[in-house]
């Protein structure tokens, strides 16, 4: 069989892929990089950059104790001072500070959405298996909570108004005098 009979009509001849040569080059670069890293570490050691590091000469804490697969998570919680509460306690704490959080919102729509989200999480927690103390937090009445928010907001705005502002309404620039 001739060469033209081996391949179908119209197909070009196969040549070795350039990636094969590139992969050998990549492997050589990786070996050189490892050598370069080792050289940099040795040079830093000779300059004394690894001397007097914090914890030098002391054993690593908790190294010889039992194996704990979640050691990194415990260290993260300790380092970042995170508080992980059971859902019932977390919802109770959130319920206590919900009024202050709602006071920072500026629209009734945002207040409604926040209260509905809170109620949804409380109801979901009621149907879940209990973790920790029992859930005593109840869902809030959305309309009553929004009315309380509006009253508190109006009281804050009234406290900021000066007597002059309450005496006459503010004129808008687009309204003409008649």
pLDDT in tens, 106-126: 999 999 999 999 999 999 999
Of 124, 119, 102, 98, the residue nearest 111 (C-alpha): 102
- What is the pLDDT, as a whole number, of residue 26? 83
Of the listed ranges 5-19, 46-60, 90-104, the least confidently predicted one is 5-19
Would you list the domain boundaries of the chain? 87-159
Rounded mean pLDDT, 34-40: 85
Rounded mean pLDDT, 134-162: 90
Give the largest CA-CA distance in the chain: 107
Cα–Cα distance for residue pair 168/166, rounded to 1 Å: 6
Sequence-separated (6 or more) residues with CB below 8 Å from residue 74: 68
Mean pLDDT of the chain: 82
Rounded mean pLDDT, 88-95: 92
Tokens 């959305």 -> residue: 142
Cα–Cα distance for residue pair 30/13, rounded to 1 Å: 33
Rounded mean pLDDT, 165-176: 66
Instruction: Give the H or E element holding residue 12.
Output: none
Has residue 14 got a pLDDT over 90?
no
Whole-model pTM: value is 0.50
Has residue 145 got a pLDDT over 60?
yes
- Cβ neighbour number for residue 115 with a 10 Å cutoff: 21
Compute, in degrees rounded to 10, the torsion defined by CA atoms 76, 77, 81, 83. 150
CB 13 within 8 A of CB 7: yes
Has residue 103 got a pLDDT over 90?
yes
- Cβ neighbour number for residue 6 with a 10 Å cutoff: 8
Residues of the chain above pLDDT 90, percent: 34
């Amino acid at each position: 069989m001739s060469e033209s009979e081996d391949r179908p009509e119209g197909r070009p001849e196969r040549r070795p892929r350039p990636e094969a040569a590139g992969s050998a080059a990549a492997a050589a670069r990786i070996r050189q990089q490892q050598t370069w890293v080792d050289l940099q570490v040795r040079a830093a050691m000779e300059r004394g950059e690894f001397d007097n590091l914090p914890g030098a000469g002391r054993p690593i804490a908790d190294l010889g104790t039992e194996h704990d697969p979640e050691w990194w998570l415990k260290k993260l919680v300790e380092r970042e001072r995170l508080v992980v509460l059971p859902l019932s306690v977390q919802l109770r704490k959130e319920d206590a500070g919900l009024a202050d959080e709602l006071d920072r919102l500026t629209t009734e729509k945002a207040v409604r959405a926040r209260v509905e989200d809170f109620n949804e999480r409380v109801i979901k927690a009621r149907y879940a298996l209990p973790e920790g103390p029992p859930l005593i937090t109840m869902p809030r009445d959305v309309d009553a909570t929004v009315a309380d928010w509006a009253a508190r907001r109006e009281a804050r705005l009234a406290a900021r108004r000066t007597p002059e502002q309450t005496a006459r309404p503010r004129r808008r620039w687009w309204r003409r005098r008649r």
